[in-house]
């Protein structure tokens, strides 16, 4: 039995009157559909530490880096957030120096903040590419279509794009996928809740 699904390569075969679909929008960090309170809280703290890390004095590889009270104020960090950073030992008050110590744990947290920002950058780019490719009801795309739309390896790796598609499905609820066989090349991506049209793409 042959199943036919619409892909972006044959999207023009759809009715020209098909409505243009709205853009896929990635929610703000921490605004996941499937919320896990601890994870969301940690993500937020990692981003705060990423902001503070730029102001910390001292060698990035040293055990002791410091912040001034002005750095906290300039970053507009609320007192409850500052207290949580101290409670979790990301920051400590150093009476000998009269400064706030940016601990090694905080430096590791700032690195995680960098990774979060990178993932968000990729998710936004992938969502924009998917919006452009899935612009009509009933269309679907392969992972490679999105990767190519983004400029291929010059901008993002294949794995980065695939991981982002999965986050758009699992964390943000923007996409679904259809597995036509055990072959990874026959996994198609559609807008969440959309049903591919029966034209164009063939698989046995």
For the chain, 204 residues long, give each residue's pLDDT as a single digit of tens: 333 333 333 333 323 334 556 666 766 654 444 444 454 478 889 999 998 988 888 777 777 788 888 888 888 888 888 889 999 999 998 776 667 899 999 999 999 999 999 999 999 999 999 999 998 888 889 999 999 999 999 999 999 999 999 999 998 889 998 887 776 667 899 998 877 764 445 433
Q: Which CA distances in Å does 146 have to 20, 34, 126, 129, 143? A: 19, 24, 7, 6, 5
Q: How far apart are CA 63 and CA 107, in angstroms?
A: 10
Q: Mark whether 104 and 42 lie in a shared domain.
A: yes
Q: Give the per-residue pLDDT at 3.
A: 35
Q: Mark whether 11 and 53 lie in a shared domain.
A: no
Q: Mark whether 107 and 143 lie in a shared domain.
A: no
Q: Mark whether 41 and 17 lie in a shared domain.
A: no
CATH of the domain at 167: 1.10.10
Listed residues 111, 143, 162: the one ending a domain: 111
Q: Mark whether 102 and 155 lie in a shared domain.
A: no
Structural domain count, the chain: 2
User: CA quadruple 62, 63, 64, 66: dihedral positive or negative?
Assistant: positive
Residues of the domain holding 87: 37-111
Q: Give the per-residue pLDDT at 1.
A: 34
Answer yes or no: is 160 within a domain: yes
Residue 160 parent element (H or E): helix 158-170
Answer yes or no: is 119 within a domain: no
Q: Give the per-residue pLDDT at 15.
A: 34
Q: Mark whether 105 and 147 lie in a shared domain.
A: no
Q: Give the per-residue pLDDT at 99.
A: 79
Q: Give the per-residue pLDDT at 43.
A: 85
Answer yes or no: is 118 within a domain: no
Q: Which residues contact 14 (CB under 8 A, 6 or more apart)?
A: 6, 136, 137, 138, 139, 197, 199
Q: Mark whether 187 and 138 lie in a shared domain.
A: yes
């Amino acid at each position: 039995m042959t199943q036919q699904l619409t892909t972006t390569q044959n999207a023009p075969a759809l009715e020209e009157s098909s409505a243009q679909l709205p853009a896929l929008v990635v929610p703000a960090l921490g605004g996941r559909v499937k919320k896990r309170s601890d994870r969301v809280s940690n993500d937020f703290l990692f981003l705060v530490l990423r902001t503070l890390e730029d102001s910390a004095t001292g060698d990035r590889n040293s055990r002791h880096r410091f912040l001034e009270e002005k750095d906290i104020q300039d970053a507009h960090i609320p007192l409850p957030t500052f207290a949580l950073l101290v409670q979790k030992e990301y920051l400590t008050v150093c009476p000998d120096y009269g400064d706030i110590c940016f601990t090694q744990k905080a430096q590791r947290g700032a690195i995680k903040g960098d990774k979060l920002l990178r993932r968000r950058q990729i998710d936004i780019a992938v969502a924009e590419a998917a919006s452009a490719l899935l612009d009509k009801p009933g269309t679907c795309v392969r992972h490679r279509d999105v990767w190519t739309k983004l400029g291929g390896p010059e901008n993002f790796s294949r794995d980065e794009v695939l991981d982002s598609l999965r986050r758009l499905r699992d964390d943000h609820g923007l996409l679904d996928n259809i597995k036509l066989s055990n072959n990874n090349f026959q996994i198609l991506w559609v807008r969440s809740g959309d049903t591919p049209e029966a034209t164009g793409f063939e698989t046995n």
